[in-house]
Amino acid sequence: MEAPIGGGGKDLDVKGVTLQTFKNRIDEILNSLAESPAGHQTIGEQTVTADAYGNGFGAAGDLHAGYEKIRARLEGLSKMFGETIEALGIAVQMADKGYGGVDTGVKERFKEIHKHSREFYEPQTPPQTQQTPTQTPTSKPSETTDSGGFA
């Protein structure tokens, strides 16, 4: 059994017109997202100053810090969503033309999106804290009965 030119097996063989139509729809969605208030650039421009929460009470600063944290996260999510849709469009091209049939620049963009995705969703590790003098990497656990942190 010979694989179709697109590189997929018999079960993956679909009409090029169908894939191109799907790719065009993905491009439309990307453009709509970029032009909407949910676009990552638009979210990045929407800011609220610390003074908007009031002055003279400590919670105003906390509210502003919370707002900035959420705004930055929404901006990142919106960008990641757009890149995910873009990657889906590239995957459609690869399914249609095969990996070798796609331009090098498109392949590099696909790899870049993959890298951004891994960085975005990878759990953040807390910074290392300094060990106290009694905790050394080479010290062995105590031979005494340990309550496991429960007294």
- Give the ranges where 13-58 is alpha helix by DSSP (H): 16-35, 40-45
Cβ burial, residue 47 (10 Å; 0-12/13-18/19+): exposed
The predicted structure's pLDDT at residue 4: 46
Could you tell me the CA-to-CA distances from 100 to 5, 95, 96, 104 in Å, in that order?
10, 11, 11, 9
Contact by Cβ (8 Å): 97, 6: yes
Q: Please tell me the distance from the alpha carbon of residue 119 to that of residue 117, in angstroms, as a whole number.
A: 5
Contact by Cβ (8 Å): 33, 39: yes
The predicted structure's pLDDT at residue 41: 80
Q: If pLDDT is split at 50, 70 and 90, which confidence band does 51 have?
A: confident
Q: If pLDDT is split at 50, 70 and 90, which confidence band does 115 have?
A: very high
- The yes-or-no verdict on residue 137 having pLDDT over 60 is no
Contact by Cβ (8 Å): 74, 114: no
% the chain with pLDDT above 70: 70
- Higher-confidence position of 16 and 104: 104
The predicted structure's pLDDT at residue 15: 57
Read off the pLDDT of residues 3-43 as tens digits, 9 standing for 90 and up. 445 555 555 555 556 777 887 888 888 888 888 887 878 87
The predicted structure's pLDDT at residue 16: 53
Q: If pLDDT is split at 50, 70 and 90, which confidence band does 126 have?
A: low
Average pLDDT, the chain: 76
